[in-house]
Structure formats: C-alpha cells, structure tokens
Amino acid sequence: MLQARLASRRGEFALAAELSADAGSTLVVVGPNGSGKSTVLRMLAGLDRPDEGMVHLDGEVWGDTARGAWLPAERRSVGWLPQELALFPHLSALENVAFGLRARGEGTAAMARAREALHALGLERELGRRPAALSGGERQRVALARALVVEPKLLLLDEPLSSIDPSARASLRGILKQALAARGVTTVYVTHSPLEALALGGKLAVMHEGRVVQEGMPADLLHRPRSEAAGAFIGTNFFRGILASRDGSGLVAIHTVAGELLAADPGLDGEVFVAIDPREIVLSREAPSGSARNVFRGRVVEIAPEPPRGERVRVALATRPPLVAEVTRQALESLGVTEGSEVFAAFKATALEPYQ
Amino acid sequence: MKLAALMARAAGGAAIGAVGAFLLLPVLALLLQVRPRTLLAELADPTVLDALRLSLLTSAGATVVVVLLGLPVGLLLGTREFPGKRLLEALVALPMVLPPTVAGLALLLAFGRTGLLGGALSLLGITVPFSTLAVVIAQVFVALPFFIGASAAGFRGVNRAYTEVAATLRASRPYTAARILVPLSVPSLAAGAAMGWARALGEFGATITFAGNVPGVTQTMPLAVYLRLETDFDAAIALALMLLAVSFGVLFALGASPFSLGRTGAAGASR
C-alpha cells in the first residue's frame, strides 16, 4: 500500500497533494499540464524532495520530512518511466533492460532475465538494436521492461503513451494493463488525457493546480464531480448551489450563483453539487412543449466537434447558468443551428441528482 | 537597410579573412624560411632527437595523469551542486591564468629541496627539481584545467534523465559514471585530453623554471627551440617546424580539438 503526502512551493507553484493506492493496484493521476503530476512522481521516486511530506510503501518509510528522512532514488525500490523514456542511447535494447540487474552485480543471469523480460513484452527480434533504431512503441516497451525487470515495489509511469502514435495507443494500453495486472505491482500512472484515465479503469486522482481535487473510481468521478476543475476535466456541466424550497412534488430548487435549477429531491439540505450530463440536454429553436422542467434560453457561443470523428458536437451556450450540450452533428444541422443562433436548452428535473 | 546588411556581410567576411591570414601567416613564414638541408641535419642530431623523444614521452605521460586525476573532478563539477563549487572552479582554473614562470616558481617552492614538501620527499630519497619527473609535474599542472573544464562541460551536457533513471535502477554513482556518463561524453573527454596534451607539449615557462634545461633529462622541444635561437637561427626554425608538424599531425589524426567539445556522444541527443 502506498500512502503519500507531499507539499512544496517553487515560486508561484504550490503543491499540496495526498495520494494513496492499495497494494498491487494502479492509481491513475490525471490532470491538465502543469498541475504537478510529474513533480509528484519525481518525489515518489526520490528524485525530488518536498518541503514537507511523507511517503510510506508497504509499511516502509521512504520519506518523512518531519523526521528529516528522505531516501534517494537508489535506496527506494521504484521503476520510473519518465515521459521522454530516457533509454540509454549507446546501449542495445537488451543492455538497457539488463542495466539495473548488472548494476547490482548480477552477471550472466542479468542477460538471461533481461531477454526474458523483453520476450514477455513481445520484443524477441529487437534485442540487439539501439533505441534510435526502434519505433516509438518498441522504445516504450523496452523502457517498461527495463523498469519491471528489477521487480520494483512501486512503478511510476509518466504519460507512458504520449509519445506513441494515436493509432497504436489502444493496443499498447492493453499490453500495459496486462503487464501491470500480471506483476501485481503497485503503480502510479500519470496522464493528462481523461479518455486514457477512464480507459485504464482503476482508481483516479484528479489534480488541479497542485492539489488532488477528487479521488475515486471512474464512475464516481463521471457522475459525481466535486469541483469545477473535476467537472471541466470530464467535460460535464457542474454547479454548486444551495438547496432552496421544497414544493411537495418531489422536486427542489437549487440556487447557484448563475441561476436556478430544478432537481429531484435528494433529501439533503444545505450546499449540494449538481452534474448535468451534456447528452441529457435537448436543444430546440422554439420553446419546448414537453415535460422538461429546466428550460433556458441563450445564444450558441461555440460549436466544437468531439473526437475522434466529430459525429457528435459540443455546443456551448450563453444561458444562465451557462451550459454545454452534446448532440449529434446531424441533429444540429437539421435544427439549422450555427454559432450565434438563439436556442432553447431543456432537460428534465429527474436527470439531476444533487449530491454532497 | 539593404546597404547596412551588405556592409555587415562585408565586415564579417573581412574579419574571417583577417583571422585566417593572421593564423596562417606565421606558419607560412616558418615553412618558407626553413632550409631543407638544415632540417635534415637537425633531424639527424641526437640531442634534437632526445628532446623530441622527451617531449613526446613526458607529454603523453602527463596526459595520462591528467585524465586519471581530472575525471573525478570533472564528474564532481559537471554533475553535482555543492557549497563552495564556484571556489573550486576558480581554483581549478588558476593554472590557466597564472603566468607559466610563476607556476614554475610556485612548483619549485612546493616540491623544491627547501620547499614545503621538499624535506619529506628527500627523506624518501626523491629529488624532484631538475628531473624528468619535474617536467611531467609542470605539464600536469598547466594541462589539468583544460581537461577538467572540457570533461565537466561534457558531463553537464548529458541528459539528466539518464542518470536519474540509473538512480531509480539502484545503480551506484560510480557505476552510472562508468556506464552512462563517460561513454556519452567521449567527444568532450577526447577534446579535453587533446587540449591538455597540446598544452603539455608546448609547456615552456614552468618547465624551465622548475625543471631546468638539462639535455636528455629536462630539455623538451620548446626549450631546445629557444636555446637554438641564441646559437643557430636556422636550426631553431627547423626544430620549430618539427614541433609544429608533430602536434598538428597528432591532433588531426585523433580528430580531437576544442571544436569537438559541443558534439555529443553516441546519439546522446536522441531518446
């Protein structure tokens, strides 16, 4: 089990992050560039030292600034894959993987174990090649083998798929997931991509401006974001507000700073959060006559196609409160809506489940 | 605007031409004024051959010592931060700014018979001044900063992620130095060694002050050239040309010069 608390200040940037991961599990740390993810990894690895903090792994104290202790990387047991991979350019794939074993004095056994590790990742033919002669995906796997072959207690992956051709990412992610599951090594996986984070399927920690703003399973994050940063990150409409009047019909009004929403009564009081899935929002040119209780009128500010193919589009609206709807391109075209059009946005009160 | 650009180009061209002429002219003068017959006669002179052999042996020995002593210091200065680093850098560079005669005097005061270490050394039966050992010591003293500077620059140029990955793989610092830093800094190390060797080969002031001018023992080529100047001008020219040919030939053959400093080792720049 990994437990870490890290705080440091470098000029304008303040880091204050708490993380934990069960033994053998993968914790995905996700957040925009510059949110402090790589710094967290470097501190876990023992390459950087926080002003204050601690790192415990499986009962061992790797660092505790209160006791003046902070083990350097060579005295921890970590595998670290920096974003640039940093394969040794003058060594072959096999020598790269054997490096850690040879460094601790394993002679001939090192080469056999390194060969085995490369085979396990499907690299039988590339043993003698130098990094410059390998493809991006091959380099990535060599770096993974180099980190795993020394059997670290903690594996640290920094944007492992960022340098990979997008078309090869899914298959490499599969290889990665498999390798991690087979080893049962506690892993911290850093990525800036929400898609990638959710695809990994494990526990997530969302970082924003040096802080972990939310920690939880993917479903929890998707349906119950707890901060503007987390909401923006997964691309959902997020509001915080105060539960106001109950009218006995099972609906409640929620006052947000930007307007009022009607929601199903959660049986809560005080401050609540609300997430509105952009796909629940229906757009129309005329005032809707249906059963939707939340209807807002406003101009279309932006229309942005959704990756990968742009069949769905995200429509940002200058309503009060501001909303983002996600509809098919076809639907939008049949409505004749373009940027600047006036539209009605509607969604059912029952689509909203306030939470705390 | 156009005129200004044209003038700037002309000025640049003129500067390059002037530097070329300035560097080549003295060499050309040597070449033009040497008498082939004198050159052949000097080549056959045993004292000249002694001086040449002594120069090559001492400078080669000094280079080996410089590399062995300089590598750890280059590693320290190139890869680590510590209090007093600036002071150490200034100290290491000192022989570069010291006039060589002053360096020779300082060495004499340190290792001479009545010097700081002289007593201890003579108890061991070692007399340093006016020996071949003194020649090598003087050369090491003046050549060290060149190698240390070049090697530190080379080590500093190695991507830090390589040594950091090595640390996470629990490689010790010496192991990482031997397997990662040194191989990736070979061009800088070679340039530093070549510059150090050239400096040792050309050493004059410190040698004549500290080691004296004993033919066959401490009389290296630069000393021989200087002495010939007073007795036989043509012979001096012939010796100077020999020294020039040897040093240029070695540097060219090794392909090492200050200009290989910025070049990285085996694909050091790629991932």
The whole-angstrom separation of Cα A134 and Cα A148 is 19
> Which residue has tokens 């590693």?
B75
Kindly tell me if the per-residue pLDDT of A16 is higher than 90: yes
Stretch among A73-77, A317-321, B81-85, B163-167 having the lowest mean pLDDT = A317-321
> Which residue has tokens 């000192």?
B94
Q: What is the DSSP letter of A345?
A: E
Q: Mind telling me how many Å the CA of B104 is from chain A's nearest CA?
A: 43
Determine the residue among A71, A74, A134, A157 to mutate to test chain B binding: the one whose Cβ has the most chain B Cβ atoms within 10 Å.
A74
| Residue-wise pLDDT tens digits, A116-150 | 999 988 888 889 999 999 998 899 999 999 999 99
Q: pTM for this one?
A: 0.82
| Residue-wise pLDDT tens digits, A104-120 | 888 888 999 999 999 98
Contact B162 A74 (CB under 8 A): no
Question: Which residue of chain B is at minimal alpha-carbon distance from A76?
Answer: B168
User: What average pLDDT is seen over chain A?
Assistant: 89
Residue B203 phi, psi dihedral angles, 5° rounding: -55, 130
The whole-angstrom separation of Cα A230 and Cα A238 is 9
| The pair of three-digit structure tokens given for residue A214, joined into one six-digit string | 């939310």
Q: Which residues of B touch A80 (CB under 8 A)?
A: 164-165, 168
The whole-angstrom separation of Cα A175 and Cα A282 is 40
| Residue-wise pLDDT tens digits, B146-175 | 999 999 999 999 999 999 999 999 999 999
Give every strand in the sheet of A237-246, ordered side by side: A259-264, A251-256, A237-246, A271-276
The whole-angstrom separation of Cα A212 and Cα A7 is 12
Torsion of CA B56, B59, B65, B71, to 10 degrees: -110
Contact A86 B161 (CB under 8 A): yes
Kindly tell me if the per-residue pLDDT of B260 is higher than 50: yes
Residues contacting A274, CB < 8 A, separation 6+: A238, A239, A240, A241, A254, A256, A261, A263, A352, A353, A354, A355
Q: Mind telling me how many Å the CA of B83 is from chain A's nearest CA?
A: 18
Which of the four pLDDT bands, split at 50, 70 and 90, describes residue B234?
confident
| The pair of three-digit structure tokens given for residue B56, joined into one six-digit string | 């090559």
The pLDDT of residue A170 is 82
Which of the four pLDDT bands, split at 50, 70 and 90, describes residue B270?
very low
Contact A80 B179 (CB under 8 A): no
Choose the closest CB to B168 out of A73, A90, A163.
A73
Question: Which residue of chain A is at minimal alpha-carbon distance from B159?
Answer: A86
Choose the closest CB to B267 out of A85, A86, A89.
A89
The pLDDT of residue B36 is 87
The whole-angstrom separation of Cα A183 and Cα A161 is 19
| The pair of three-digit structure tokens given for residue B189, joined into one six-digit string | 């190390």
Could you report the predicted ipTM of this complex, rounded to two decimals? 0.82
| Residue-wise pLDDT tens digits, A150-172 | 999 999 999 988 878 877 888 88
Q: Mind telling me how many Å the CA of A154 is from chain B's nearest CA?
A: 11
Instruction: State mean pLDDT over B203-215.
Output: 93
Question: Which residue of chain A is at minimal alpha-carbon distance from B182?
Answer: A90
| Residue-wise pLDDT tens digits, A181-222 | 888 899 999 998 888 888 888 899 999 999 999 998 988 888
**Pairing state between β A60-64 and A52-57:** antiparallel
Kindly tell me if the per-residue pLDDT of B271 is higher than 50: no
Residue A47 phi, psi dihedral angles, 5° rounding: -85, -30
The whole-angstrom separation of Cα A189 and Cα A171 is 17
> Which residue has tokens 């900063």?
B145
| The pair of three-digit structure tokens given for residue B153, joined into one six-digit string | 């620059």
Q: Mind telling me how many Å the CA of B1 is from chain A's nearest CA?
A: 43
Cis ω for the linkage preceding A152 (within 30 of 0): no
Q: Which residues of A touch B178 (CB under 8 A)?
A: none
Longest dimension (CA), chain B: 76
